[in-house]
Structure 1
Amino acid sequence: MSPASAARVLDPASLDRLRGLVTLADGVHDDLSTPAARAALARAELVVTGWGAPVLTPEVLAAAPRLRAVVHAAGSVRHHLPPAVWDRGVAVSSAAAANAVPVAEFTLAVVLLAGKRVLASAAEYRARRVLAAGEVCASGGNHGATVGVLSASLVGRRVVELLRPHDLTVLVHDPHVDPGEVRRLGAEPVGLLELAERSDVLTVHTPLLPETRGLVDAGVLARLRDGATVVNTARGAVIDAAALTAELVSGRLHAVLDVTDPEPLPPDSPLWDRPNVLLTPHVAGSAGNELRRLAEAAVDEVERFAAGRPFRHPVAHPERSRTA
């Protein structure tokens, strides 16, 4: 991983745990072509990766003849682990489940705020500066509202779980998950268009894959009722950017976008100044003290590897996986 990632994620307690489990090579490597990195690879049975990790190319794999496992102290491994890693029989684990926790917590917060129309109320209150006795600004509420969850991914499942205590109807669209399993999660399985038609808030948790790029297109957005809110903490390109911009500029829909396409938006994007849009800079994922959860998850997997036990969170071969 990059030295900056290592400094952020691998706190002293985690490093101490690692030293008690394995022999650590010296240094943090984000260039695997250096003599020091090649010397470390020649001895390595396990590699711990993170943000800023270089690609484990066939040449890198050839330089690591003893490599048996990769533990990723972050979410997606698609950026740095090609299929050749799995083809070689290397076991792979990811801290994606740990990273799903703050994303789901962020989603819960903004879903409830969207239901209360907090953005619109705050904007109106700021503009008017005064209210008559008993008067309210933009009205809203969460009692009996409907939340549509797009994809029963790791984050999507956690969102459903966090929504369960609230007085909401929760819908899920995921064609790859059995409807019975969706019901066991505590949600109602529906098709994509029905999800849009019935949702007061549509929250997107679909991994960005070739088949999900632009999945939420103009037709899906058009099915959302007037005043509905779109929440995206997944990947910006899952939503058709032009279609979403048109709906938001018209004022028909609201949005909370932690990710966009492109990211960041160009300075002249009309969304920066829309009162019905909240843009956040990819902050839903692990940050600050939440990074300890990633480190703990990664070290837990190293402990299992050192004890000869299978990973708790294995990552399937990318050609057989629908994860990001």
Structure 2
Amino acid sequence: MSADHSGSAVRPLAWLPIPPEEIEGLPEGLEYAYWNGGPDYPTDPARCAFYCVPYLSGPEVGARPLPGMTGLRVVQALTAGVDDLLPAVPLLPPGARLCNARGLHDASTAELALTLTLAALRGIPRFVRAQDAREWRQEFRPALADKTVLIVGYGAIGAAIEDRLTPFECARVVRVARSPRTTARGPVHPVADLPRLLPAADVVILATPLTDDTRRLADAAFLGRMKDGALLVNVARGAVVDTGALLAELESGRLLAALDVTDPEPLPAEHPLWKAPGVLITPHVGGPSSAYLPRAKALLRDQLSRFALDEPLRNVVVVA
């Protein structure tokens, strides 16, 4: 804690996208300001030491105050992925830490992954359209039971997805991650094993971060190894999938897809993916749910307490 010219202690300032009075238990040794991406800043950005990026604000808004934040020590994202913020790291003062929100969206995103999987397999979009047309259309549809599910990206969200798959009597759940390891549930295979694992999967769920290694991971070769009639579910980032290659597979009728994220995003109204056969699209809503706010408050309360006490922060992704 520094002092001003009068000798009075100056408390470090935190900018929060949630009104601080709505977060119980914030440490008293800090000063707080509320900013959720509006055109006007609550204080001089140079005073900000801890900056929590407004949720769902977009990279342009979230990065806008960073050039003026010359005293910044922490950037806290409220997303698990920070690919949108990484280009702004060179703008940060040396030593500033960028932290993600690992754990915040696990339950909500895993719920959506399961929802998309079940809805696509059981043909829910077709039944909704039939309901709109007041038509009674019975048909046989694939069940999730007895299927082999491949989870690509077995981190916290991937594990939460498997938690929710467990009661559905899948024949097998196969796990893939950048770092192979053994868990209580079984092995986690390396990404290099994907060519061998893909042909056996009925459902492939993408839950991997977007990095240089995973950009367009699901390319024409990846999709071509999936079995006929298999379902691709993407709750990761849109750019993990080669959109052109996926469109070719959908238009041929060989694969199905359920996508919470797309490339480009938002998906333009004229984009052919909207009308591709066998695709279910939701508008990147894996995180926004009733689970978000209480968990976001808990994360901020914990990180700010650590920051105030100069203790190690959680989920540090990169240091400027």
Tell me if both proteins adopt one fold, taking TM over 0.5 as the criterion.
yes
- Pair 1:303 & 2:305 matched: yes
Which of 171, 175, 188 is residue 174 of structure 2 equivalent to?
171
Structure 1: any 5+ residue segments left out of the alignment? Answer: 320-324
Q: TM-score, normalised by structure 2?
A: 0.78
Find the aligned partners of 2:105 and 2:288 in 1 and give their Cα distance.
6
User: Is this contact kept in 1: 2:217–2:240, CA < 8 A?
Assistant: yes
Q: Deviations over 1:181-235 (max 9, x none)?
A: xx43446636112332111111111222222221111111112122111111111
Where 1:220 maps in the other structure, the secondary structure is helix
Deviation of the 1:251 alpha carbon: 1.6
Find the aligned partners of 2:195 and 2:128 in 1 and give their Cα distance.
31
Find the aligned partners of 1:203 and 1:71 in 2 and give their Cα distance.
27
| Greater helix content | 1
Give the partner amino acid of 1:100: D
Distance 1:189 1:150, change over 3 A: same
User: Is this contact kept in 2: 1:150–1:205, CA < 8 A?
Assistant: yes
Find the aligned partners of 1:102 and 1:273 in 2 and give their Cα distance.
27
User: Is this contact kept in 2: 1:100–1:158, CA < 8 A?
Assistant: yes
Which of 98, 101, 104 is residue 98 of structure 1 equivalent to?
104
Where 2:168 maps in the other structure, the secondary structure is coil
Find the aligned partners of 2:78 and 2:304 in 1 and give their Cα distance.
11
Distance 1:31 1:170, change over 3 A: same
Q: Deviations over 1:248-290 (max 9, x none)?
A: 1122211111111112333333332345211111111234552
Structure 2: any 5+ residue segments left out of the alignment? Answer: 1-14, 56-60
Identity of aligned residues (%): 30
Find the aligned partners of 1:170 and 1:230 in 2 and give their Cα distance.
15
Q: Compare relative contact order (CA 8 Å, sep 6+) and give the higher one, 1 or 2.
A: 1
User: Is this contact kept in 2: 1:257–1:280, CA < 8 A?
Assistant: yes
Count of residues in Structure 1 that have an aligned counterpart in Structure 2? 297
Q: Residues 150-165 of structure 1 correspond to what in structure 2 (within 5 A)?
A: 150-165=152-167
Aligned counterpart, 2:269: 267
Aligned counterpart, 1:17: 25
User: Is this contact kept in 1: 2:130–2:136, CA < 8 A?
Assistant: no
Deviation of the 1:53 alpha carbon: 2.2
User: Is this contact kept in 2: 1:115–1:201, CA < 8 A?
Assistant: no
Distance 1:197 1:278, change over 3 A: same
Distance 1:209 1:35, change over 3 A: same
User: Is this contact kept in 2: 1:108–1:163, CA < 8 A?
Assistant: yes
User: Is this contact kept in 1: 2:121–2:141, CA < 8 A?
Assistant: no
Find the aligned partners of 2:196 and 2:19 in 1 and give their Cα distance.
44
Deviation of the 1:292 alpha carbon: 2.8
For the aligned residues, what is the CA RMSD? 3.4
Distance 1:117 1:91, change over 3 A: same
User: Is this contact kept in 2: 1:94–1:298, CA < 8 A?
Assistant: no
Q: Residues 1-324 of structure 1 correspond to what in structure 2 (within 5 A)?
A: 6=17, 9-10=18-19, 12-14=21-23, 16-18=24-26, 20-28=27-35, 36-38=43-45, 40-41=47-48, 44=49, 46-51=50-55, 52-54=61-63, 60=68, 63-64=70-71, 67-80=72-85, 82-83=88-89, 88-119=94-125, 129-130=135-136, 136-168=138-170, 169-174=172-177, 176-180=178-182, 183-186=183-186, 189=189, 191-288=193-290, 290-311=292-313, 313-317=314-318
